[in-house]
Structure 1
Amino acid sequence: MPLKHLFKAILNWQTDRNSVKRYIKNHTVSFEDKSDLKISAAKAFKGDPSLHNPEDLLLSSLMSCHMMSFLYVCSLHQINVLSYTDSATGTLETDQKGSGRFTEVHLHPVVTIDNPKQIELANSLHQKANKLCFIANSCNFKILHTATCTAG
């Protein structure tokens, strides 16, 4: 029987009474026992460019989940990871009606491990990590990986 986990969030938004022509998109999302997230729309969609937006958070979720899944599979193979960085890009396409969707995300993890003999194995584990990643499994677009692994 599968285990179910419930996640909760609360979104708060209020109108800016001085802005009658368009809605201000800034809002706050709260989670129990965690700091609030101040969020807006992306600059391209008339949001506050100084705040995170849903597209930023989607990329962040994919990168974080992939990293945690990768660290997990590395531990199963006794690979000692010393550092992990990623630089992701996401392609969002919109149509003339204002609808849109992500068509792909490309992760670029750069990993340093302690044993140079395990570099090839470590690089191959990104595919397994992608299959385990909860967020990647919830997406309906391509998630690509260009991984680099070195020993240090």
Structure 2
Amino acid sequence: MTHDYTSHIRWTGNRGAGTATYRGYDRTWDIAVPGKPVVHCSNDPLLGGDRRKMNPEDLLLSALSACHMLWYLHYAAEAGVIVTGYEDDPVGQGEVGPGGAGRFIAATLRPRIRVAAGTDLARAEALHHRIPEVCFIARSVNFPVHHAPEFLVEP
């Protein structure tokens, strides 16, 4: 079974002369999906982008983390692991090759998961290992995704 995802990308960086010169335009755009808030984006700050806006690398890493979280919560509910809070500070490692072409070479998800008192932490930890088999985003990337969870037990 297949299904489609749609989005609308609109370049917002025309300063008046379009791409007449390489430095004469901004690398900014909006992501608009019907019925959802618009996301204002820019390229990587290392390439002169606006640090206040999301860039493609931010979006990919965030999507990877969110997909993992949603599957983790699903598996936790099935396994009787009561999660009361979940935050992640993922880190993606990138490299730039000759000629400026870049890519992700790895990512590490570092979720801090708050669980109910009495939780079997080994069971809670084991749930992470099932997710790469089903997470849409993790299954779509060509770099390794590591997991370094931290569990906080409710008093």
Cα distance, 1:115 vs structure 2: 3.8
| Larger deviation, residues 127-136 vs 139-148 | 127-136
Residue pair 1:69, 1:130 contacting (<8 A) in 2 also: no
Within 5 Å, which residues of 2 pair with 1:8-47? 8-14=6-12, 15-17=14-16, 20-22=21-23, 23-47=25-49
Counterpart for residue 143 of structure 1 = 145
Counterpart for residue 53 of structure 1 = 55
Cα distance, 1:37 vs structure 2: 0.8
Counterpart-to-counterpart distance in 2, 1:8 and 1:29 = 11
Residue pair 1:116, 1:150 contacting (<8 A) in 2 also: no
1:6 counterpart SS class:
coil
2:120 counterpart SS class:
helix
Residue pair 1:119, 1:150 contacting (<8 A) in 2 also: no
Residue pair 2:81, 2:119 contacting (<8 A) in 1 also: no
Deviations 1:43-81 (A, max 9, x none): 101111111100000111011000001001111111111
Which one-letter code corresponds to 2:16 in the other structure? R
Cα distance, 1:136 vs structure 2: 0.4
- CA RMSD, Structure 1 to Structure 2 (Å): 1.5
- 1:79 paired residue among 75, 81, 97: 81
Deviations 1:58-115 (A, max 9, x none): 1110110000010011111111111111111101101121111100001111111114
Counterpart-to-counterpart distance in 2, 1:49 and 1:18 = 24
Structure 2: tracts of 5 or more residues without a match:
none
TM-score scaled by length of structure 1: 0.92
Counterpart for residue 95 of structure 2 = 93
Structure 1: tracts of 5 or more residues without a match:
none
TM-score scaled by length of structure 2: 0.91
Counterpart for residue 4 of structure 2 = 6
Counterpart for residue 103 of structure 1 = 105
| Larger deviation, residues 6-15 vs 37-46 | 6-15
- 2:132 paired residue among 130, 133, 140: 130
Cα distance, 1:32 vs structure 2: 1.0
